């Protein structure tokens, strides 16, 4: 790495933001709309790859070597010491440029729970206006809880498949009601997913929030800019050092008159803090960095959703497997190109079921995702040659805790990531019950005419022990890492940020991404991350939207 040309003048902005993912794009837009100067640093490239913008490109992009960080976990002891790929977006838009496009807010109780844990201002009534502000709901919905004028379009499915309707009818026969809007605060039931898609194209946070902001003269967006250290004067964050152009590139510094805001995500935000001298004492000592502030919670409390996928081979019907392989794919491309409904413009999962692993529970703790497609041997990207359907499921609010820690002060080295899936007996029990219920969903009368055979788990998997062995052997992440810079009251020894998202014990430094979540929302994490970024922007500016009772 080479130092940039010397200069007596600091390059200074009002705010320096690290990470142009979902949060970074939103915060850049909001902080710059009043004229404040903002510098946004992104380690990855611009989002010019055309497969980013085609929804079906998800299958290609989620494991892309150029659009993700290529993270991999350490062996996870409760899942047969398997290593898990942990995709996180490394491109403008971050994971909103490579994710599965489904928009899921979670439940009212998720956010009331955050407030009850000692985080004032984060109850459902407090955060609802921020959910509303970011979205333009393009379908039906109660305007008390849904936004109509935001930057991000939230659309309904425009391509339907009869096996989806049969699946929903089957879940109804099990006593699970249909839910017309699972993003209303009450998610229990089944229905079709809402997506961040408009007119057949993905709408990432970069497209929705950063494009308008980049047109402002007070915004500077720098790609291929790897943050290497937060710069401190005493205990005040004053800027960021970064490397332009990748390993061996030029070392540069940019300074903030007001604040440095970390929006690098649940894996990279704690890593950057640690290599900058903020984190657990033992981690800082092992890195050989000079401590700025010992903060034990940095990198701890990692939570993620662990998903298993049940696969059924079908008969007498064509599924996505048959429609997007070989010559039929050409027809679907033509339909997509002229704006007609096509499986190229859908999210990977079409149908949701939010339900309970125990009938005694008051609210759902499971999320099921259904699609009329199946992947060869469970490998994402390789569709089976025969017609198939897949039902995935995960426990929404896992108790198992992992960690992330830097293993080198070199910013280009990957951190050690331990997801620790299924460490909690609560998680194990919930997943076992989820698989049993899922098997019932796949065997209902409306589906029976189409079923050829169950592929996974196979017929040899019967006992509870065999089911859990299969789950440990085949389960995967759904890329929802959270919690590594946890928001909590001061008396919590694992607290990293306060309820205003200020890093405890330091000045001029905030965190505004999924790492601050006190617990996982009952949801895919993109919607909640958007909300956090919206609220963070107002906290930084000293503003507040009025709570909504709905």
pLDDT, tens only, 279-338: 999 999 999 999 999 999 999 999 999 999 999 999 999 999 999 999 999 999 999 999
68 bridge partner residues: 89
As annotated, the binding site for FAD includes: 22-23, 91
Rg (C-alpha) for the chain, rounded Å, is 23
> Are the C-beta atoms of 396 and 110 separated by less than 8 Å?
no
What end-to-end distance do the CA atoms of the chain give, in Å?
54
pLDDT tens-digit readout, 201-252: 999 999 999 999 999 999 999 999 999 999 999 999 999 999 999 999 999 9
Q: Is pLDDT at 7 greater than 70 in this prediction?
A: no
Beta strand 250-262 with 12-18: parallel, antiparallel or unpaired? Answer: parallel
Q: Per the structure block, which two tokens stand in for 524? A: 């895919």
Q: Are 20 and 28 in contact (CB under 8 A)?
A: yes
Q: Could you give phi then psi for residue 339, rounded to 5 degrees? A: 85, 15
Q: Of 89, 90, 110, which is closest to residue 101 (Cα–Cα)?
A: 89
Q: Let me know: does 387 contact 317? Beta carbons within 8 Å.
A: yes
Measured between alpha carbons, how far is 200 from 217 in angstroms, rounded to an integer?
31
Distance CA 417, CA 19 (A): 19
Rounded Cα–Cα distance for residues 128 and 545 (Å): 9
Question: Alpha helix locations (H) across 236-374?
Answer: 265-275, 281-287, 320-323, 327-337
The CATH number assigned to the domain with range 158-192+306-395+420-480 reads 3.30.410.40
User: Which of 161, 293, 305, 480 is an active site residue?
Assistant: 480
Predicted confidence (pLDDT) per residue in 340-360, tens digit: 999 999 999 999 999 999 999
Which residue from 161, 162, 131, 125 is spatially nearest to 146, judged by alpha carbons?
A: 131
Nearest residue to 24 via CA among 472, 544, 520, 510: 510
Is residue 5 pLDDT above 90, yes or no? no
Catalytic residue status for 452? no
φ, ψ at 291 (rounded to 5°): -65, 130
What pTM value is reported for the model?
A: 0.97
pLDDT at 382: 83
The DSSP code sequence of 255-273 is EEEEEEEE-SHHHHHHHHH
pLDDT at 483 over 80: yes
Band (pLDDT 50/70/90 cuts) for residue 10 is: confident
Q: Domain boundaries in the chain?
A: 1-61+88-153+202-275+481-550, 158-192+306-395+420-480
Contacts of 395 (CB under 8 A, 6+ apart): 305, 306, 357, 365, 366, 427, 430, 431, 434
Query: Is 91:78 a contact under the CB 8 Å cutoff?
Result: no
Say how many residues make up the chain. Answer: 550
pLDDT exceeds cutoff 90 at 162: yes
pLDDT of residue 8: 47
SS3 string of 433-498? HHHHHHHHHCCCCCCHHHEEEEEECCCCCCCHHHHHHHHHHHCEECCCCECCCCECCCCCCCCCEC
How many CB atoms neighbour CB 466 within 10 A? 13
* CATH class of the domain comprising 1-61+88-153+202-275+481-550: alpha beta
Is-cis flag, bond preceding 215, omega within 30? Answer: no
> Under a CB-based contact definition with an 8 Å cutoff, are residues 18 and 264 in contact?
yes
Quick check: 105 and 523 in contact, CB under 8 A? Answer: yes
**Torsion angles phi and psi, residue 473, rounded to 5:** -85, -25
Q: Which two tokens stand for residue 21?
A: 């993912």
């Amino acid at each position: 790495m080479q130092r940039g040309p010397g200069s007596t003048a600091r390059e200074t902005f009002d705010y320096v933001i690290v990470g142009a993912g979902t949060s970074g794009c939103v915060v850049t837009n909001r902080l710059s709309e009043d004229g404040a100067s903002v510098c946004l640093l992104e380690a990855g490239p611009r989002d010019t790859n055309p497969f980013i913008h085609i929804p079906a490109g998800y299958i290609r992009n989620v494991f892309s070597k150029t659009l993700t960080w290529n993270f991999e976990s350490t062996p996870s002891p409760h899942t047969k010491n398997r290593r898990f790929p942990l995709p996180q977006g490394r491109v403008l838009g971050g994971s909103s440029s490579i994710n599965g496009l489904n928009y899921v807010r979670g439940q009212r109780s998720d956010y009331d729970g955050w407030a009850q844990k000692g985080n004032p201002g984060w109850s459902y009534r407090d955060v609802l206006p921020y959910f509303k502000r970011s979205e333009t709901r393009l379908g039906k919905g109660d305007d008390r809880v849904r936004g109509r004028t935001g930057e991000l379009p939230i659309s309904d499915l425009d391509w339907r498949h009869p096996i989806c309707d049969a699946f929903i009818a089957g879940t109804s026969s099990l006593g699970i009601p249909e839910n017309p809007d699972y993003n209303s605060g009450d998610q229990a039931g089944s229905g079709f997913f809402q997506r961040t898609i408009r007119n057949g194209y993905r709408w990432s946070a970069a497209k929705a929030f950063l494009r308008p902001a980049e047109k402002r003269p007070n915004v500077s967006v720098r790609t291929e800019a790897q943050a290497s250290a937060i710069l401190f004067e005493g205990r005040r964050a004053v800027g960021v050092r970064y490397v332009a152009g990748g390993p061996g590139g030029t070392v540069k510094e940019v300074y903030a008159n007001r604040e440095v805001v970390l929006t690098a995500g649940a894996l990279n935000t704690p890593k950057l803090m640690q290599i900058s001298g903020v984190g657990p004492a033992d981690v800082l000592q092992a890195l050989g960095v000079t401590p700025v502030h010992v903060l034990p919670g940095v990198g701890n409390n990692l939570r993620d959703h662990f998903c298993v996928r049940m696969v059924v081979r079908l008969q007498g019907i064509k599924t996505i497997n048959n429609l997007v392989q070989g010559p039929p794919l050409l027809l679907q491309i033509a339909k997509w190109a002229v704006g007609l409904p096509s499986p190229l413009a859908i999210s990977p999962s079409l149908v949701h079921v939010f339900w309970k692993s125990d009938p005694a529970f008051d609210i759902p703790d499971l999320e099921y995702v259904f699609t009329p497609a199946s992947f060869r041997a469970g490998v994402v990207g390789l569709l089976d040659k025969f017609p198939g359907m897949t039902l995935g499921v995960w426990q929404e609010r896992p108790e198992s805790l992992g960690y992330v820690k830097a293993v080198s002060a070199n910013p280009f080295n990957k951190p050690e990531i331990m997801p620790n899936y299924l460490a909690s007996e609560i998680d194990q029990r919930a997943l076992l019950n989820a698989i049993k219920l899922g098997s019932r969903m796949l065997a209902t009368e409306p589906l029976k005419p189409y079923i050829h055979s169950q592929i996974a788990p196979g017929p040899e998997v019967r006992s509870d022990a065999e089911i859990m062995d299969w789950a440990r052997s085949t389960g995967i992440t759904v890329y929802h890492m959270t919690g590594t810079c946890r928001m909590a009251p001061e008396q919590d020894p694992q607290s990293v940020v306060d309820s205003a998202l200020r890093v405890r014990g330091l000045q001029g430094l905030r965190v505004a991404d999924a790492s601050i979540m006190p617990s996982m929302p009952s949801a895919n994490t993109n919607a909640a991350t958007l909300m956090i970024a919206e609220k963070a922007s107002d906290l930084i500016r000293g503003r507040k939207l009025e709570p909504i009772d709905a």
